[in-house]
Structure 1
Amino acid sequence: MRQEISITVTDKAKAEFQRGFPLITKEALEDVEGLATEGAILELNDRQGRFLAKGYYGKQNKGYGWVLTRNKDEAINQAFIERTLKEAFGHRQGFFDDPSTTAFRLFNGEGDGFGGLTIDYYDGFYLLSWYSEGVYTFKDEVISALQNVADCRGIYQKKRFDTKGQYIEEDDFVAGERGEFPLIVKENGINFAVYLNDGAMTGIFLDQRDVRNALKEKYARGKTVLNTFSYTGAFSVAAAIGGAAKTTSVDLAKRSNSKTIEQFSVNGIDYESQDILVMDVFNYFKYAKRKELKFDVVVLDPPSFARSKKYTFSTSKDYTNLMKEAIAITEQKGLIVASTNSASFGMKKFKGFIEKAFKEEGRKYRIVEEFTLPADFRVRKEFKEGDYLKVLFVSLD
């Protein structure tokens, strides 16, 4: 039996919940420590005892849980989850109907009404990501609801939590049939090899789909393209298919080499005609300057936080300097694709990083295009923090 407790919220939090804010923060609650177990249903009341909302308790880096309903009498059970999933599926019907894209976000946490859980679709397979012990207590209801709502070839999961908020490795298979990996999915006609059973990452970040498509369709033809922090080379593949003269992929992880070769190969591209380097990106900037190398297009999509033997990178502190490094090896009239997935600041502050870099370098620039999350990554207007992706196509003047 799931625990249900009533919790009093502060006056400030009351106003936020009344506006539709979905995150239950530690500061919003008068007292919950020691009272609630992970997955407990929280009935949120104001100091006069009036009902505000109902959610669940699940500690993660963002907060203490998520609001699920503002109907006091609505039960949080499998039927509730099925209704929520059906609504989310309805919003993605256009993606299901598009044969050129067979991988997309099907359920985006609080954007679809159940924070702490995401569901991604990979050509008939479903990948559940759990972000707290609390949401994981709903596992059986979610899986049963998903099987009732969708025709699932197979279901996999990623548990993205432990006491330190890190990924826990275990058998990721949950139900249905086991996939044969790599599974080849399509994104705007491009093939990508993905693995649902191999650690925290699958091989492609689905939130960058529109950005890769813009690079392929508008900016890559005839250009030399440098893809830094390249992971499995998805931007490089998109650029090559878009007619790039040559791509250079740079990432510190040793696996990036074989993974990038694989992504080129599943698209019939000769990977030996491209440069794939296992190297610290910051060392590569020094190497490129020393060799007087310059590129028409530079892709900057660093992790929010990264550490190598010599360098520590934090987006909020170091993006301006990273941008300056990129400016130095970008051709005049070239393009920098500046990207961050950090949720700790908004687009205005990110643009400030770019402006500061160009000002300190004494250079002029234009932002020719900008992106946030694609349509399948639904966000709520009451929770702008959920729209974490910020991408700017910056032209050097």
Structure 2
Amino acid sequence: MNVIQLKKGAEKPFHNGKLNINEEDLSDSVFLKDGEVVELTDYLGGFIGYAMMSFEQRTHGWVLSHDKDAHIDEAFIREKITGAIEDRTPLYNQEDTDVFRIFNEIGDGIGGLSIDNFNGHLFITYYSAGIYKIRNLVVQVLIEALSPDSITEQTRFSIDGRMQIENNHVTGNVPEKIVVTESGMRFNVHLKTGPMTGLFLDQRETRKTLLNNKRSHNETFLNLFSYSGSFSVAAAMAGMSTTSVDLAGRTTELVTDNFNVNDLPLDNHHIHIMDTFDYLKYAARKNHQFDVILIDPPSFSRNKKKVFKVGRDYPQLIREAVKILKPGGELILSQNLETFTLNQFKKQIDETMNGLGIRYTLKDVKGLPKDFKTTKGYKGGKYLKIVTIKLAND
């Protein structure tokens, strides 16, 4: 086993539990191989832990164990996966939900690996070529432990310097559309192709809150960056009229299919294939007003010559959205940038609203659901922040 040393001064965070290894932490990483298990030491040779090199966009590797007597072998990997499955036992016993995360990367002990359950169909994501080397063992453990209807894998890592995302069938019969149930709502999921499945599992609690907040059809809900319209479904089932906005042409089909699978008529529900900022300006010109606006943008996107960066451009989204929000209305603000903390996000919201001279109250704050297990050793793992604010009535 190769031994790698931290630079002088880089050891303190690791002694305090840090698990993600960045290139700048290491004295030398040139000779290391993706997927290699190494012994990590401080600059004096003191033992830190055993780590797996995992050349991802986020990190250069992950500490897997601080136990000097540990063996990072097949038994170790197997124990991590079966332990995560056992932790999710209550989720398997739910009557109204059959979709959730089984394994959440370093939160469950192995960085660069996630496993999702879609009504008995498993979806494995590998975030580095190194972690992909253990794929056969991962699949074997899942078949033995769960006897799934099917397994599909997705690789998300650089090949020859270019990020490539591919979905590959592993075993079982994978339908073109898998219907899953979440909090009694039904959603269509697509595992065979594309980088996204059709349902972001980390937003389950947001959808559940929308669903349980019963309203009337006279109240209106605007879903910006709506993708497949799962938030719109939840709002519609709570009784609201909805408007879904997204630039992707496939949005109309995805939203319509999700409404249909829930036997929801499309009356009083609208879909706009537009740039979000263009829609906000259009809605303001038309004097449209909404009771609730949900904003859930990507961290980064490019539309022709426009570049959207969530950390930089979120305040402008808020400024434009409040122009079409009714007095006393609610903004549900979601942000998923790993390097942006909840406190930073709340401060950004507060500064934006104060700059507009608009009074508001903080109504709710949410993060990741429990199946997206996190650890203190990787602060970036708590990437999701959902802040709901309510405007004053005047």
Q: 1:60 corresponds to which residue?
A: 56
Query: Contact (CA 8 Å) 1:43, 1:51: kept in 2 or not?
Result: yes
**1:80-132 residue CA offsets vs partner (Å, 9 max, x unmatched):** 11110121112211111102111101110010000110111111111111111
CA distance in 2, matches of 1:383, 1:182: 35
For 1:389, the aligned partner's letter is L
CA distance in 2, matches of 1:311, 1:212: 30
Q: 2:257 corresponds to which residue?
A: 262
**1:249-305 residue CA offsets vs partner (Å, 9 max, x unmatched):** 000000011011000000001124410111111110110010011100001000011
CA distance in 1, matches of 2:372, 2:37: 26
User: Equivalences for 1:51-90 in 2 at 5 Å?
Assistant: 51-90=47-86
Q: Does 1:109 align with 2:105?
A: yes
Q: 1:131 corresponds to which residue?
A: 127
Farther-moved stretch of structure 1 (81-90 vs 69-78): 69-78
User: Equivalences for 1:153-232 in 2 at 5 Å?
Assistant: 153-163=149-159, 166-169=163-166, 171-175=167-171, 177-218=172-213, 220-222=215-217, 223-232=219-228
CA distance in 2, matches of 1:126, 1:394: 36
Q: 1:338 corresponds to which residue?
A: 333
Rate the CA distance shift 1:202–1:220 in 2: closer, same or farther, 3 A: farther
Question: Which of structure 1's runs of 4+ aligned residues deviate more than 6 A?
Answer: none
CA distance in 2, matches of 1:329, 1:99: 39
Query: Contact (CA 8 Å) 1:77, 1:141: kept in 2 or not?
Result: no
Q: CA RMSD in A?
A: 1.4
Q: Does 1:147 align with 2:143?
A: yes
For 1:305, the aligned partner's letter is F
Q: 2:288 corresponds to which residue?
A: 293
Query: Contact (CA 8 Å) 1:154, 1:179: kept in 2 or not?
Result: yes
Identity %: 36
For 2:21, the aligned partner's letter is I
**1:151-201 residue CA offsets vs partner (Å, 9 max, x unmatched):** 2221111111115563423x52112x1211210001100000001112110
Q: Does 1:19 align with 2:16?
A: yes
Q: 1:50 corresponds to which residue?
A: 46
Rate the CA distance shift 1:145–1:13 in 2: closer, same or farther, 3 A: farther
Rate the CA distance shift 1:221–1:104 in 2: closer, same or farther, 3 A: farther
Q: 1:327 corresponds to which residue?
A: 322
Rate the CA distance shift 1:275–1:202 in 2: closer, same or farther, 3 A: same
Q: Tell me the number of residue pairs that the alignment of Structure 1 and Structure 2 aligns.
A: 390
Query: Contact (CA 8 Å) 1:167, 1:200: kept in 2 or not?
Result: no
CA distance in 1, matches of 2:164, 2:367: 25
CA distance in 2, matches of 1:148, 1:78: 14
Query: Contact (CA 8 Å) 2:102, 2:371: kept in 1 or not?
Result: yes
TM-score, normalised by the number of residues in structure 1: 0.95
Q: 2:27 corresponds to which residue?
A: 30
CA distance in 2, matches of 1:81, 1:153: 22
Q: Gaps spanning 5+ residues in structure 1: where?
A: none
Q: Does 1:308 align with 2:303?
A: yes
Query: Contact (CA 8 Å) 1:85, 1:149: kept in 2 or not?
Result: no
Query: Contact (CA 8 Å) 1:367, 1:395: kept in 2 or not?
Result: yes
Query: Contact (CA 8 Å) 2:20, 2:377: kept in 1 or not?
Result: no
For 2:6, the aligned partner's letter is V
CA distance in 2, matches of 1:71, 1:211: 38
Aligned-pair CA distance for 1:353: 1.6
Query: Contact (CA 8 Å) 2:214, 2:239: kept in 1 or not?
Result: no
Q: 1:389 corresponds to which residue?
A: 384
Q: Gaps spanning 5+ residues in structure 2: where?
A: none
> Residue 378 of structure 1 aligns to a residue in which SS?
coil
CA distance in 2, matches of 1:130, 1:272: 41
Farther-moved stretch of structure 1 (254-263 vs 273-282): 273-282
For 1:227, the aligned partner's letter is N
Of 41, 51, 55, the residue aligned with 2:37 is 41
Query: Contact (CA 8 Å) 2:365, 2:388: kept in 1 or not?
Result: yes
